Amino acid sequence: MTGAPPRLPAWLAALAILLAGCSPAAGLDETTTVPPSPTSSAQPAAVDAVPQQKPVPAQVPTATPAPTPPPVPQAFALNLYQEGDFVPQYTFDWCVAASIQMAHNLIDDTGGGTWADRAQQSDLWDMARARSSNSFNGANPLGWAQVLTEVGLGPYSVVSVPDYEDALQTAARAIAATGRPVGLVMWSGRHAWVMSGFESVGDPGQFTEFSVTGVRVQDPLYPHGSGQWGPSPAPNSLLTPEQLATQFVVREPRRWSSELPAGYLLVLPVAA
């Protein structure tokens, strides 16, 4: 018997359609890859290193030191005199010779012997007269200074200072610098004293300007003095400048001729 071809079961036909719709379009040998994310082969730019500076400490202002105040003059005293240094003049003429003997005693503190002999004083007087000119047959300051130098107590020189205070400062400064006494030409050129020390406000070795407040003196005429000029101070007396000024006065030019101007005469020790 012939009739129509047999029909596929309906479910089998539906399955065939479903499988055809699910098959991939490409073959199995075509591999589909996901493109990688773009990356850069360049290295990252280097960051410049910033040098680390050390912290600078804050400047602390330094205090300016206060200036040192200048030294203030203080009371000062110097005296060469020791007991036994005084020598009287044995005649009313021998004041220069006695002053030379006292100068030796004030300078020589070795105990080598005191100069006080009368015969020696006479010899020193003759030496001073022989070295003095226009001295009214006596000894003048030039002869006095020369003998002091010749007998080993010098050098000494004669100076004339026109101002009284300057004369006292000059004498004090010389004693402090040399350790030797100063000769004072007294009574306007008629007599000789020895200045053995002084007191002052200010050390002459430290201050250019200082004030002499006292003068140590040896008058070889003690204890006689003068009716015109006043009494002789005792050995090692400390006189005020006002007391000294009554007998220490400007030398009269007519007393003896020299090239020195009128002023207060000093027989001054000079540094060797």
Structure tokens at 131: 């070295």
CATH number of the domain where residue 120 is located = 3.90.70
- Asked whether residue 177 is domain-assigned, the answer is yes
Residues of the domain holding 208: 75-269
Cα end-to-end span (Å), the chain: 181
**Assigned domain for 22 exists:** no
pLDDT in tens, 56-65: 666 767 778 8
- DSSP one-letter code for 262: S
Q: Distance (Å, rounded) from C-alpha 121 to C-alpha 168?
A: 28
Domain presence at residue 124 = yes
In a domain, 209, yes or no: yes
pLDDT in tens, 150-200: 999 999 999 999 999 999 999 999 999 999 999 999 999 999 999 999 999
The residue with greater pLDDT, 137 or 29, is: 137
Domain count, the chain: 1
pLDDT digits (tens, 9 = 90+) for 93-151: 999 999 999 999 999 876 668 999 999 999 999 999 999 986 567 899 999 999 999 99
Using only C-alpha atoms, the chain has a radius of gyration, in whole angstroms, of: 59
In this prediction the pTM is: 0.75
**For residue 12, is pLDDT > 70?**
no
Assess if residue 5 is contained within a domain: no
